[in-house]
Chain A
Amino acid sequence: MHEYSIVQSLVDSVEAVARPHAAATVHHLYVQIGELAGVDCDLLQTAYDTFRFGTICAEAPMTIERISARWECPRCHAAFAPGAVLRCSTCSEPARLAAGDEILLRRVELEVA
Chain B
Amino acid sequence: MCQDCGCGDPEVVPIDVQHRILAKNDATAAHNRAHLVEDSIFCLNLMGSPGAGKTAVLEATARAAGNPRRFAALAGDLATDHDAERLRIAGIRSRAITTGQACHLDAELVHRSLHHFDLDGVDFLFIENVGNLVCPAVYDLGQAANVVALSVTEGEDKPLKYPTMFKNADLVLLTKIDLLRHLPHVKVEKILDSLSRVMPEPRVISLSALDDDGFGEWMQWLESRRAAMAPREHVHA
A, B in one complex = yes
B236 contacts A by Cβ under 8 Å: no
Residues 17-54 of chain A: 1 if any B CB is under 8 Å from the residue's CB, otherwise 0?
A: 10001001101100100001111000000000000000
**How many residues does chain B have at the interface if contact means C-beta atoms less than 8 Å apart?**
38
Q: Please give, as numbers and ranges, the residues of chain B lying within 8 Å of A28 by CB-CB distance.
A: 12
Task: Count chain B CB atoms within 10 A of each CB in A1, A28, A95 and give the residue with the most.
Answer: A1
6 contacts between A and B (CB under 8 A): A2-B103, A17-B17, A87-B200, A94-B201, A111-B11, A111-B12
Residues 38-75 of chain A: 1 if any B CB is under 8 Å from the residue's CB, otherwise 0?
A: 11000000000000000000000000000000010000
B165 to chain A, nearest CB (A): 8
A28 to chain B, nearest CB (A): 8
User: Which 8 A-B pairs give the minimum distances between C-beta atoms?
Assistant: A94-B200, A38-B164, A2-B135, A111-B10, A105-B19, A38-B138, A86-B200, A95-B200
Interface residues in B79-120 (C-beta closer than 8 Å to A): 102-104, 106
Q: A6 and B13: CB pair below 8 A? A: no
A interface residue numbers (CB < 8 A to B): 1-2, 5-6, 9-10, 12-13, 16-17, 21, 24-25, 27-28, 31, 36-39, 71, 83-87, 94-97, 103-113
Q: B106 and A86: CB pair below 8 A? A: no
Interface segment, one of B22-30, B182-190, B227-235 = B22-30
Q: Please give, as numbers and ranges, the residues of chain B lying within 8 Å of A86 by CB-CB distance.
A: 196-200
B interface residue numbers (CB < 8 A to A): 1, 10-25, 102-104, 106, 134-135, 137-139, 160, 163-165, 167, 193, 196-201
A48 to chain B, nearest CB (A): 11
Q: Please give, as numbers and ranges, the residues of chain B lying within 8 Å of A95 by CB-CB distance.
A: 200
Q: B24 and A9: CB pair below 8 A? A: yes
Among B14, B19, B134, point to the contact of A13 (Cβ < 8 A). B19
Given contacts A1-B103, A37-B138, A86-B196, contact A112 B21 (CB under 8 A): no
Q: A106 and B18: CB pair below 8 A? A: yes
B71 to chain A, nearest CB (A): 28
Q: Please give, as numbers and ranges, the residues of chain B lying within 8 Å of A31 by CB-CB distance.
A: 21
Among B11, B17, B106, point to the contact of A108 (Cβ < 8 A). B17
* Separation of A4 and B205 alpha carbons in the complex (Å): 35
